[in-house]
Amino acid sequence: MSTPISAQQSHATSVLRQYYALTKPRVVQLIVFCALIGMVLAVPGVPSWPDVVQGALACIGIWLVAAAAAAFNCLVEKGIDAKMKRTAWRPTARGELSDWQALAFSIALCALGSALLWFSVNPLTMWLTFATFVGYAVIYTVVLKPLTPQNIVIGGASGAMPPVLGWAAMRGEVGPEALILFLIIFLWTPPHFWALALYRVEDYRKAGLPMLPVTHGNEFTRLQVLLYTFILFAACLMPFIYGMSGWLYLVVAIAVSVGFTGYAFKLWRHYSDQLARKTFRFSLIHLSVLFAALLVDHYIKY
Question: Using one digit for the tens of pLDDT, what is the confidence trace for 244-302?
Answer: 999 999 999 999 999 999 999 999 999 999 999 999 999 999 999 999 999 999 988 76
Domain count, the chain: 2
Residue 83 inside a domain? The answer is yes
Q: What is the CA radius of gyration of the chain?
A: 20
Average pLDDT over residues 167-184: 96
Handedness of CA 272, 278, 280, 282 (dihedral sign): negative
Give dist(CA 247, CA 240) in Å, integer: 8
283 with 297, same domain?
yes
Residue 11 in this model has a pLDDT that exceeds 90 = no
Residue 211 in this model has a pLDDT that exceeds 70 = yes
Average pLDDT over residues 211-226: 95
Residue 4 inside a domain? The answer is no
Give dist(CA 68, CA 82) in Å, integer: 20
pLDDT tens per residue, range 60-114: 999 999 999 999 999 988 888 888 877 878 888 888 888 999 999 999 999 999 9
Residue 7 inside a domain? The answer is no
User: What is the predicted pLDDT for the residue at 184?
Assistant: 97
As a three-state string, the secondary structure of 160-206 is CCHHHHHHHHHHCCCCHHHHHHHHHHHHHHHHHHHHHHHHCHHHHHH
Domain containing 83 equals 20-174
Nearest to 195 by CA among 86, 288, 278, 80: 278
236 with 258, same domain?
yes
Give dist(CA 25, CA 97) in Å, integer: 17
Give dist(CA 205, CA 169) in Å, integer: 40
pLDDT tens per residue, range 69-83: 999 999 988 888 888
Its pTM stands at: 0.89
- Out of 174, 208, 228, a domain closes at 174
